[in-house]
A = this chain, B = another copy of it.
Amino acid sequence: MQTFQVGVLGATGAVGQKFVRLLEDHPWFKISVLGASERSAGKKYEEAAHWIEPTEMPADTAKMEVAECEPEAFSGVDFVFSGLDSSVAEGIEKSFAEAGIPVISNAKNYRMHDQVPLLVPEVNPDHADLITKQTFTDDGSGWIVTNPNCVSVPLSMSLKPLHDAFEIDEVIVTSMQSTSGAGYPGVPSLDIVANVVPYIGGEEPKVQTESTKVLGSLWDDTIAFNDFTIQATAVRVPTIEGHLLSVSVQLKNAPSSIDEAKQAYTDWDNPIASLDLPSSPENPIKLYEKNRHPQPRLHADREGGMQTAVGRLREGTVMDLGYVTMAHNTIRGAAGGAILNGELLAAKGLIH
């Protein structure tokens, strides 16, 4: 694989830092430009970023000068990863796409756009082709790809084997979300130390819609959303990394036994396994058998934080099945997911 020069938009923020950390020794992608707000522009990265990662800031990146998030400053890059806040992502990402610089974004702004793939490589890799329909530029050189929000990633991934086997009808989910999901400074400690806050602004509408696009079908030049329904309650809990979801699911063709449901997970084949993508985990969707698993502390970092863990799969009394699922929200559910999207697009020859 060739080496790609990449830019990072929103590089000083929490997601941006995760991009910087995860790309430190990436075999294909090399950071050549870091973009942030006007306030940070012109400073060295180590001065501009309040570094909150538990590893040392990569020495090379530390000394790079931060640019403003304008296409002109990113002229040499093959594409950009965007960790921008949604309050500014819309305009900036569009300006990059229109300038012919592909954008692989973690922001929510274009997730529901008709021609923008909402991509989880193990679930809907074919959706990637949708980028050829985008019209940001005449020659198709600029496009936008997004990943789902940090809850919809494990939700859509954990539903996928069940959907393939039994078809999803209805889903009720309570997501217990970690503090890192709110960025930095994010959640005030007085709100969350030894506490649970039963509301996360703007979260539930995303959880209730995104998975139906991820599990939708590519028709011609758009995605036909899947027709199942999701009811979501999103709460904040005092964990650091790893969103844990309690899921109840009604199926169109219920399995005859819980073993058959488990079989759906063990039979599931990772459609991108043969691509050997650098960030692709060996077990993207792993079924745990112990009642107490998965947990944020024990499992969020498994396989580099790229695994979606499923556990407590059991028959339900109201709906067909109940289970819990968890994924590292800022890796699998954000920067790591976006990087895997980039790897998929590169492997498919869609990045030029």
Contact = CB atoms under 8 A, between A and B. Distances in A.
Interface of A: 14, 52-56, 170-172, 174, 176, 179-180, 182, 184-199, 201, 208, 229-231, 233, 235, 237-240, 244, 246, 248, 291-302, 311-312, 316-319, 322, 324
A297 B194 CA distance: 7
B184 A295 contact: no
B240 A190 contact: yes
Which of A55, A188, A189, A295 has the largest count of B CB atoms less than 10 A from its CB?
Answer: A189
Contacts of A194: 193-194, 238-240, 296-297
Given A231-B318, A299-B54, A239 B195 contact: yes
Contact of A52 (B190, B193, B248, B299): B190
Contact of A189 (B56, B176, B188, B312): B188
Which of A170, A246, A311 has the largest count of B CB atoms less than 10 A from its CB?
Answer: A246
A188 B190 contact: no
A327 to B, nearest CB: 13
Count the copies.
4
Contacts of A302: 54-56
A198 B312 contact: yes
Contacts of A197: 292, 295
Contact of A233 (B56, B184, B322): B322
Contacts of A180: 190
A198 B294 contact: yes
Given A176-B176, A297-B194, A246 B235 contact: yes
B246 A193 contact: no
A226 B56 CA distance: 35
15 contacts: A54-B298, A54-B300, A56-B302, A179-B189, A185-B188, A188-B188, A193-B240, A194-B238, A195-B239, A196-B296, A197-B295, A198-B312, A198-B324, A231-B248, A233-B246
Nearest to A303: B56
Contacts of A317: 208, 229-231
B316 A231 contact: yes
Contacts of A311: 198
Given A231-B248, A318-B231, A184 B190 contact: yes
A55 B300 CA distance: 10
A194 B291 CA distance: 19
A193 to B, nearest CB: 5
A184 B190 CA distance: 7
Given A193-B193, A197-B292, A198-B312, 15 more contacts: A54-B300, A54-B302, A55-B301, A172-B318, A176-B196, A179-B193, A186-B189, A188-B188, A192-B193, A193-B239, A194-B240, A196-B244, A198-B246, A199-B292, A237-B237
A296 B190 CA distance: 12
Nearest to A183: B190
A189 B193 contact: yes
